[in-house]
Structure 1
Amino acid sequence: MSNLETRPDEIDCRSTVHRGDAGADGTVTVEVLAARDVPLGGPRAMTVHRTLPQRRRSLIGAWCFADHYGPDDVSATGGMDVPPHPHTGLQTVSWLFSGEIEHRDTMGNHAMVRPGELNLMTAGHGIAHTEVSTPDTTILHGVQLWVALPEFAADTPRDFAHHIPSAFHHDDVEIRVFLGELLGERSPVHTFTPLLGAELRLPPGAQIELPVTTAHEHGLLVDAGVIRVVNSAAEPLQPTELGYIGLGATALCLRNESDEPARVILLGGAPLDEQIIMWWNFLGRSHEDIVAFRQQWTEHSERFGQVEGYSGDVQHLPAPTLPNSRLSPRHNIPGQA
C-alpha cells in the first residue's frame, strides 16, 4: 500500500534499548495508541486507520507502519486502486480478513492477496508495485503493515513471498501465525530481524494466555470486539486501537469482553536499535537518502523498474513535495512492560 498523503510526516527514528522485567506479579503496562484516519486517495476515498507511525511511538520492534481498513463497502468507496508506487528499505506485509486484492510488481509478480494468506514484498534496494481490489470484491477488510529493514539488509535485492499459515486452536482461540513463532507454531517466511505477526480470533468471553519473548516489544491491534489485557490495569482496547507493551513481559493474558467474536493482530519484535528515516514510501538512513530516492523515482530510475499490466490512468504515482526544511530527527525509546 502507498502512503497517499500529500504532506507525509518525516520520521527519523533513533531507538535506545532499555531492558527490564514486568511486575513481580506478572502485570504489564499497556500504552493505548489511537488511530488516525487517513483517506486513501480519490473523491470516494477509502479510509484507513493508521496507528503506526505516530509521534508517541514510531516502531514496535521493526514494525514501522500499520494501516487497518474496513469493513469497507466497495460499491460506496470504489475500493482500493493504488497506481505504481515505490518502496525502499522495507518489507510490506499484506493480510486480509475479507475481499481480494490484485498485486503486481516490478519483479513480474502477479499475485492475489486473499483472506488468511500472507503476501510479503521485500523492497530493499527498490521496487514498485500496484494494489487493486478485484471486481468480485464487495467488502474489503484487512491490514497493511511495513517492516523496517536493518542497515545490513537495507539494500538487499527485491523479493516476494507467499504463505498460507495453518489455523490452530488454543484455549478456544483460533490462531494463525504469519511471521515468527507463537505457541510452537512457526512461519517459514524469512525476516531480517526477529518478528512476530499473528491473527487471533476470540469467541465472546474467551480468554487466552500467550507466552511472549521478554526481549521483544509487542502490539495488539484490535479489529473487532473489546479486548482486555487481563494482566494489566489498562482500560480495554476498542476496535482500531493498538495496545503497546514494552520490554520485559513474559506473558499476555487477553480476554474478549464483548458479546461478539473478537479479532486481534498481535505484532512483536526485537527493538530496532538503529537510526532510520521514513518519509512517504521510502525508508533510508539519512535526509540525503530520501532526497535521492525521490529524485530517482521521479526520473523513472531502474532502481524501481516498471510495473507491467496495470490498467489505471496513472502509471507512475507522483511523489509529494519534500518539506522546505531538512528531515528532522524523532526518537523512539522502547517502553517497559
Structure 2
Amino acid sequence: MPDWTKPMQQTYEYYIVDPATWRDTERLMNVKMGATISRDADADTLGSASFDLSESIGECYIRTYLVTIQNGIRERFPLGTHMVQTPSEEFDGKAKSVSVDAYTPLIELKENPPPLGFSIRKGEPIMDNVCSLTKSHARAPVIECTDNKKLEVDFVSNTDDNWLTFLKDLSSNAKYEYELDDLGQICFRPVQEVTALQPVVTFDDSNSSILLPSITISRDLYGIPNVVEILYSGNNLTYQTRVVNNDPNSPISTVNRGREIIRRVTNPSLTGNPTKAQIDEYARQLLKTLSTLEYTVSYSHGYYPVRVGDCVLLNYERAGILNQKAKIISQSIKCTTGCVVTEKAIYTNSLWG
C-alpha cells in the first residue's frame, strides 16, 4: 500500500470482465482520459460510471484500476466494475468519439420483476433468501451474509416490484443493505448509525493531509419538532401525552424558535398493555430521537481507499469541524491527473435530551 500523502505516479487501466468468472480478460486501450466513477448510497444501483472511447464496444462489464508507482513499487487498486450500455457517438471530421454510460452489477436485479404474488413465508431466514435470490438474478459474485434473523410475517412482492426493490425491502427487515466492493462483488452491510461506526481514516487540514482546502457544510432545521404528542388507544385503554422542548439551551426549543412545531403520533409502536408512564417515556425518547440535526459535508481529497458507507474522522479546524465522525454517502472519482475524489459525508448532532 503506498503512502497516499506522498508523491507517486498515477495512471489508469481498463479491462473487460468475464461475467462468468468475474475476472479480467482483455485490456482496453481505447478508453480516453477523464472517466468518472460515481458511488451514491441513495442511487438504486449504488452508482454509475461514464467513459469516453475512441471506438465502439458492445455491452460488457469494464473494470477500472488506479495504478500507482511509488519508490519503484507498482500497485493496482480497483475502482469498480460497471456494465457499459447506451453509447452515443460523435465525429468531428477527423476522429470518432464514443461516450458510454455504465452501471453497477445491481442493474441486473432491476431488469426483471418477481413472479406475480411471489412470497417468502413466515419463519424463513431473511438474509439466506436475499443472498440466494441475488445469486439467481445477478451474475456478479455475492459475498454471503451470516445472519439468523427470520421473517415474523409472510413477505409478498408488490406488482410494481423488480428484484432489486423486492430484495432491498426484504433485507431491511434484517437491518441490512446492499453494498459493492471495489471489484464489483455484491456484499451486505448492517444498517448502523454514524455514532456506532469506527473511523477508518482521519482527514485533517495539516500540511501532509490529502484533504483539499475547500469544504462546504449544510444543515436543515426544517421539520425538526419541538413538541411530540402521543395519542394511544388500544386494549380498552386510552392515553394522551405531550412532551415539550422548552430548554433555552436548545436551538430548536419553543423558547428559541418562538413557536411550536408539533409531531403527532396516533399509532405508537408499543406492545402489550402499556402504562401511562411508558407512554410518557416513549414520547420523550421519540422527541429526543427527532431532535437530531443532520449535517452534510462536501469536500475533495486525493484518492484514498475508502468507500461509501465507511466512517471517516474529520478534523478540519479552519472550518470548525473538530474530531467529528462522519459517514460517507457519495463519491465521484475523476480518472484524471491526481485522481481527485469529491465526497459527501453526514454527521449528526443532538439538539435536545
Query: What range describes the TM-score normalised by the shorter chain of this pair?
Result: under 0.3
The higher-RCO structure (CA 8 Å, 6+ apart) is 1
TM-score normalised to structure 1 length: 0.20
